[in-house]
Amino acid sequence: MLFAVLAAITFVASTGSSAWANGRFPLADQLVVSPGNSSFMVLRTTFGLLVSEDGGGSWDWVCEKAIGYEGEQDPAIGILESSAILAGTYEGLSVSPDLGCSWAFVPDGLAEQFVVDVVVRPDAPRSALAVAKSYAAAGDAGEPAGAARLFGSTDDGKT
């Protein structure tokens, strides 16, 4: 079914009609499969996320605002063993513990940080790492301007 989704996007591209997603051509460019349930997958698009619980047989759309971002962002996506979804945005790390239904930003050190990348450890799928870049000016919080930091979770994204 993933092929059907990609074929539909390609069809729209080839018809010459004007289809746009946040001022950009609709595109899907990252597919992530849950390490705990191979039927659960998330597809990142230019218009939010598509979530499938049946191996790509059907897809549900999660809009950007629900995740916590807007505009032309392509958040890094990760899925933990519990099927919690991680989305690294310009605003921080947003986590959905319930298959994309509800979302919340991780507080504390990741609050309002630009999360550059997210990775789930293949050898420990309840663990994830996030690289965040600070918006702080030089001297704020004792860091140089634009300093990158590495954050880790070992409890399915709860902390």
Q: So where are the chain's domains? A: 2-153
Question: Which is nearest to 89 in space by CA: 121, 56, 111, 62?
Answer: 111
Parts of the chain with a pLDDT under 70? 1-22, 136-145
Q: What is the pLDDT of residues 10-39, one digit of tens each?
A: 544 554 555 666 678 889 999 999 999 999
Q: For position 147, what pLDDT does the model report?
A: 80
pLDDT of amino acid 21? 62
What is the per-residue pLDDT for 137? 58
Exposed/middle/buried for residue 91 (C-beta within 10 Å: 0-12, 13-18, 19+): buried
pLDDT reported for residue 94:
96
- Position 19 scores a pLDDT of 61
Verdict on whether the full-model pTM lies above 0.85: no
CA–CA separation, 47 vs 71, rounded Å?
9
Mean pLDDT score of the chain: 86
For residues 29 and 73, the answer to whether their CB atoms sit within 8 Å is no
Q: What pLDDT was estimated at residue 71?
A: 87
Looking at residue 12, its pLDDT comes to: 47
